[in-house]
Amino acid sequence: MVKQLDKIVIRRPDDWHLHLRDGNLLKLVLPYSSSIYNRAIVMPNLISPIIDIKSATHYRNFILSNIPQGHIFTPLMTCYLTEYSNPNEIEEGFNSGIFTAVKIYPAFSTTNSFYGINNIKNINKVLERLQKIQMPLSMHCEVTDINIDIFDREARFIEDIIHPLRNKFPELKIIMEHISTKEAVEYVESSDDKVGATITPHHLILNRNDLLVNGIKPHFYCFPIIKSKIHQTALRKAISNGSSKFFLGTDSAPHFAYRKESSCGCAGIFNTPTALSIYATVFEELNAIRYFESFCSENGPRFYNLPINEDKITLIRRPWKIKNIINSSTYSLVTFLEGRTLNWFVKN
């Protein structure tokens, strides 16, 4: 019989896709990230999006001023691309270290994406510049045409947008965020080293039956929508092969419970307190713990051309029951997999 591991020690991970929000919600959720991760790519889709150096500086200072004492955490800022974004400002922000990447939201694809891109042809100048300065482009990969089925939107985006984009800008560095389909896995695997992808814990552990059978689960609702088991299996296989093109990005996206448990609930899953334990669970299920550290802590920084973290973090095998981080009669925030028990516990 193979002896079970009782502890996993890895380099401290980074979160390459995170929504920290703003104001009191940020104050509430930030410590859960800063206690585990050394850095995070901070998404710019605030109600007033982060579209320039001034707003990014202000937002970064607010994040820095709320990091609890004793935590070491570097927010890596992203610039929300609009059809009016100025390539010179983006380059200046990149050179001065304010921006680490640029983010494309197709308009109306997800939370606060109204100012996003309607037609990718309108941003050729910015894309040319990103290619020239090798600034990473983080992409929400879904088409938004109302006639395209919601489950097909990622695969169509690869056909309609990414293929032509990569033909035109072959040296552009792109991160396909929170991939959810076998088509995306295949695309990333068959591309050169200019293309990488983040994978969330929820897309690894759920399929659409978990979302829709025996009652609809608003806390499993996110974009891209959770797909069928075929796609879940493809994502799991991708990480179990140890490919360096896939890396950790939680896409933790908190919304208060009343906004999700609604007749028109919003998309986004708050998973920061559980994400690393879930990834460990999945890697163990796949018999691929040997690739857990590279997925969490090495592939991301290599893709972004940043140093890998030197300090370590430990997970121990200890069952713990997931609780919500706030539960008041007015506001509650539901943690992903609340009420269930996970077997890997992150020791801070």
Choose between 10 and 30: whose C-beta lies nearer to ligand NCD: 30
Q: Is 140 in the site for ligand NCD (CB under 6 A)?
A: yes
Choose between 220 and 291: whose C-beta lies nearer to ligand NCD: 220
**Which of 104, 222, 235, 296 forms a contact with ligand NCD (CB under 6 A)?**
222
Residues 70-129 that bind ligand NCD (CB under 6 A): 110-111
Q: Is 267 in the site for ligand NCD (CB under 6 A)?
A: yes
> Of these residues, 149, 192, 251, 311, which one is catalytic?
251
Residue 311 designated active-site: no
Closest residue by Cα to residue 225 from 207, 249, 247: 207
**Which of 106, 249, 268, 301 forms a contact with ligand NCD (CB under 6 A)?**
268
Say which entry of ligand NCD, Zn ion, none residue 187 contacts (CB below 5 to 8 A, set by partner kind). Answer: none
In the stretch 197-236, what mask flags binding to Zn ion with x, by CB under 5 A?
A: ----------------------------------------
Q: Is 309 in the site for ligand NCD (CB under 6 A)?
A: no
Choose between 136 and 293: whose C-beta lies nearer to ligand NCD: 136
Choose between 129 and 231: whose C-beta lies nearer to ligand NCD: 231
Q: Please give the Cα distance from 84 to 26 (Å, whole number).
A: 28
Q: Is 52 in the site for Zn ion (CB under 5 A)?
A: no
Say which entry of ligand NCD, Zn ion, none residue 153 contacts (CB below 5 to 8 A, set by partner kind). Answer: none
Residues 236-255 that bind Zn ion (CB under 5 A): 251
Give the per-residue SS3 of the chain.
CCCCCCEEEEECCCEEEECCCCHHHHHHHHHHHHCCCCEEEECCCCCCCCCCHHHHHHHHHHHHHCCCCCCCCEEEEEEECCCCCCHHHHHHHHHCCCEEEEEECECCCCCCCCCCECCHHHHHHHHHHHHHHCCCEEECCCCCCCCCCHHHHHHHHHHHHHHHHHHHCCCCCEEECCCCCHHHHHHHHHCCCCEEEEECHHHHHCCHHHHHCCCCCHHHCCCCCCCCHHHHHHHHHHHHCCCCCEEECCCECCCCHHHHCCCCCCCCECCCCCHHHHHHHHHHHCCCHHHHHHHHHHHHHHHHCCCCCCCEEEEEEEEEECCCCEECCCCEECCCCCCCEEEEEEEC
Choose between 17 and 182: whose C-beta lies nearer to ligand NCD: 17
Choose between 111 and 274: whose C-beta lies nearer to ligand NCD: 111
Whose CB is nearest to Zn ion?
Answer: 251
The alpha-carbon radius of gyration of the chain (Å, integer) is 19
Say which entry of ligand NCD, Zn ion, none residue 45 contacts (CB below 5 to 8 A, set by partner kind). Answer: ligand NCD
Q: Is 157 in the site for ligand NCD (CB under 6 A)?
A: no
Q: Is 153 in the site for ligand NCD (CB under 6 A)?
A: no
Whose CB is nearest to ligand NCD?
Answer: 268
Kindly list the catalytic residues.
Answer: 251
Chain residues binding ligand NCD by CB under 6 A are: 19, 45, 110-111, 140, 222-223, 251, 253, 267-268
Site of interaction with Zn ion (CB under 5 A): 251
